[in-house]
Structure 1
C-alpha cells in the first residue's frame, strides 16, 4: 500500500515517529562539542530503520506520510499542507527533540541549510506567542514518518508525540488529485526501433517486460516515474503519447474534474484487463489516462 504526502484533511492529526534534532547534533559533532548522550541518541535515531513505523502506520489505516529530512519539520509540513490544500497548526512545545538538541541549537549550532531556508519557510507560517523558531527549522536525517491518521485514538505506534492538527481547508484551493504512481505512454510506429533506442541508445534501465516475447512492451525507469513503450501507434508527433496516472478513487476524480471544468474524453470504465480507466484531455489535446487498480486485481 502506497502512502503519499497529499492526503491530509481537516480534522486529521499527524504523528512524528522519531524525535528531531539530528542535524543540530551532527553540526555539534563536527565541531567536537556534542555531549556524549546527544551523540549516542542521534546515531541511534539515524540508524533505526523506519520499517516498524511504516508497518504501524499501515496497520492504523494512515492515509498519508512523509519523512522529515533536509527541509526540516516546517518545510515538509508546509509541503504536505500545500499538496493537500489545507492549513495545519503546529504545537511547537509538543515537538519531541533529541536530548541536548534544543540547547545546542540555542547556541547557534544549526546546519547551514536550515539557516538558508529559515526566512522563506518562516514567512509561510503564522507565528503564535511563545513559539520557538529554532525548533521549527532544524533539519534531520531519517527522522521517521509523519503519518496522517483519522483520529488521535488510532495513531500508529511507536510515536513520539501528536503535535500537529489539520485546522481547515485552505480558502480558494481545491483538494489536489492524489497520484499514487505515474508513467508516460509511448505508442511507437516501429516498436523494435523504439525499444532499441530507449534501451540501448538512451540507456534507460528496464523495470519490466510484458506481452508476447516476439513483440514485448517495455517499461523503463524514469526517475520517480516510468516510461512505457508498447503497442503500435500511427507515427504522429503527439497522438501516440499519453500521461498515465494511478489514482486511489477514480469516481471521485471524475466528479472533481467535471466540477473543475476539465475535458473528460471518456468516463471511468473497467477494461478487459481489469483496470478502471478514464481519459482526460489537456488544453493542447494530450491524452491523460487516469487509472484505478481495483482491490481484486491480481
Structure 2
C-alpha cells in the first residue's frame, strides 16, 4: 500500500465553527467544503483535518460512525480492499464511491480504532 497523505476525521456538531477555530487560531486553511464536511490543511507537516457533521441518520449502526477516525489517502484502493478482505481484516464500511470523487472504505482494529482508507477519483457528474 502506498500512503500519499494522512489525516484525522473529527465528527462534530458544527463543522463551520470548528473550521473557524482551526483557521483563525492554528493556521489551517479550508481545502474542500462539502455539504456535511470541511477538509482543512496546512503547508507544513501538520496532519490534515476533516470536520464531519454529526448526523446519526446518515450512518447505519455498525458502519463506522466514530468521533475520531484516522484517515490515510492511498493509491489503488480497490486492490487494497480485496487484499484486506482476503486477509480477514474487520471491514466496517465496504468499498464505496462518494459523488464528490472519493472512493473509501473503513476498517476497525482489534481495539476499536476506526481507520478510513480513501482514494481521490473523478466526481460523479449528473
Please say whether Structure 1 and Structure 2 have the same fold, judged by a TM-score greater than 0.5: yes
Structure 1 residues 92-111: aligned runs within 5 Å: none
Pick from 231, 245, 254 the counterpart of residue 72 of structure 2: 245
- In 2: Cα distance, 1:220 partner to 1:195 partner: 11
What corresponds to 1:179 in structure 2? 3
Could you say which structure has the larger radius of gyration? Answer: 1
Question: Equivalent residue for 2:50?
Answer: 228
Deviation for aligned residue 1:197: 3.0
Give the gaps of 5 or more residues in structure 2: 57-64
Residues 179-188 or 266-275, more deviating:
266-275
Paired residue for 1:210? 33
Deviation at 1:199, TM superposition (A): 2.6
Segments of 5+ residues of structure 1 without an aligned counterpart are: 1-176
Question: Which residue in the other structure is 1:255 paired with?
Answer: 82
* Structure 1 position 216, deviation (Å): 7.1
232 and 204 in structure 1: CA distance in 2 versus 1, 3 angstrom threshold: farther
- Relative distance call for 1:196 and 1:262 in structure 2 (3 A) is same
CA distance in 1, matches of 2:95, 2:115: 13
The normalised TM-score by structure 1 is 0.33
TM-score normalised to structure 2 length: 0.69
Task: Within 5 Å, give how 1:75-224 maps onto structure 2.
Answer: 177-201=1-25, 203-211=26-34, 217-221=38-42, 223=45
Higher strand share: 2
SS in 1 for 2:21: helix
